[in-house]
Chain A
């Protein structure tokens, strides 16, 4: 059997994202609404989305801009919630090492939770061949274009959605869809529970610092459980 062509890999990657879009489109819409609600102009809201392309970072930045936080705090909080990209990047690096820097820069810019998950699965399951990065690219571009369209929709139409629909809850649900498969071991579970508990207890801290403290506490709990089991 000949290797899959770049074209067929690309299209497979696009297709793989279609069910995911049902979760990310409402999420993008909410991110667009949040930017406008934070007092950003439409151009600023769309620029934030086009250049940062991360729902979590966009929401955290919007919340902090809304309360006129210092720029350093806004950027610092977005940095911490984006730390998971370090792990994704480390996991993908060996698969992409043979590509030239333009490919690696482009895929870096476009990588999200969902396209990382799909690409990691594809690299794990498929027979090794030369064009698998086209699958990653197809998934990532599908998400990028649909995300920007849904953010623009949120920016334009956002204020008109009735509050009773509780559309902001779709964001929490989109994170649940990522959280559940991320908890595989007992140490993962400890990290999640400790982080959740700290996030609630520390909720009074200013500038969404609770998120930072809770994330670090959860990571510590995961490491502690893992160290305890090895002894």
Chain B
């Protein structure tokens, strides 16, 4: 039962936030600093999600180049920067990760 309540709560939250200004409120009625702060939400939230995925796969931070997820992630960032599409990030990142895991398995 509590799972269903969580599903309802999560669904309500995502809809409420999406509909906030499109359906309910005029963004110009909100203070200036608030609208400024919103600008940084994507960069901050996305970086907070990506960083542990690259650096903490083993449970503790690993900043060395022997961490295949970090290297594959950096390659994917460069590919995304130049090619500007999601497929470039996923394809180069997965290919790099598989190649590195294979290489570490054989030579590591």
Contacts and interface: CB of A to CB of B under 8 A. Distances in A.
Contacts of B20: 85-86, 89-90
Contact of B43 (A56, A179, A226): A179
Contacts of A90: 20-21, 27, 35, 38
Interface string B1-14: 01111111111011
Most buried by A among B13, B26, B54: B13
B47 A218 contact: yes
Contacts of A153: none
Interface in B1-49: 2-11, 13-15, 17-23, 26-27, 33, 35-49
Contact of B61 (A22, A96, A187, A200): A200
A194 B44 CA distance: 8
A51 to B, nearest CB: 4
Contacts of B64: none
The secondary structure that dominates the A interface is helix
B89 A174 contact: yes
Contact of A87 (B14, B39, B76, B85): B39
Interface in A106-145: 107-109, 111, 113-114
A89 B41 contact: no
A187 B19 CA distance: 27
A10 to B, nearest CB: 19
B87 to A, nearest CB: 4
A113 B15 CA distance: 14
A215 to B, nearest CB: 5
Interface residues of A, number: 93
Contacts of A26: 90
A166 B101 contact: yes
Give chain B's interface secondary structure class.
helix
A131 B23 CA distance: 19
A179 B22 contact: no
Contact of A71 (B5, B18, B23): B5
A215 B48 contact: yes
Contact of A200 (B27, B52, B88): B52
**The 5 A-B residue pairs with the shortest CB-CB distance in the complex, in nearest-first order:** A218-B44, A23-B86, A222-B40, A172-B53, A75-B9
Interface of A: 19-20, 22-24, 26, 40, 44, 47-48, 51-54, 56-58, 61, 64-65, 71, 74-75, 78-90, 92-94, 96, 101, 104-105, 107-109, 111, 113-114, 164-166, 169-183, 187-189, 191-200, 203, 210-211, 214-219, 221-223, 226
Interface of B: 2-11, 13-15, 17-23, 26-27, 33, 35-56, 61, 69, 72-73, 76-77, 80-81, 84-91, 93-94, 97-98, 101
27 contacts: A19-B86, A52-B15, A57-B13, A65-B3, A74-B10, A78-B13, A79-B13, A87-B41, A90-B38, A93-B22, A108-B23, A169-B93, A172-B49, A172-B50, A175-B50, A176-B76, A178-B86, A179-B43, A180-B80, A194-B44, A200-B56, A214-B47, A214-B51, A215-B41, A219-B41, A222-B37, A223-B33
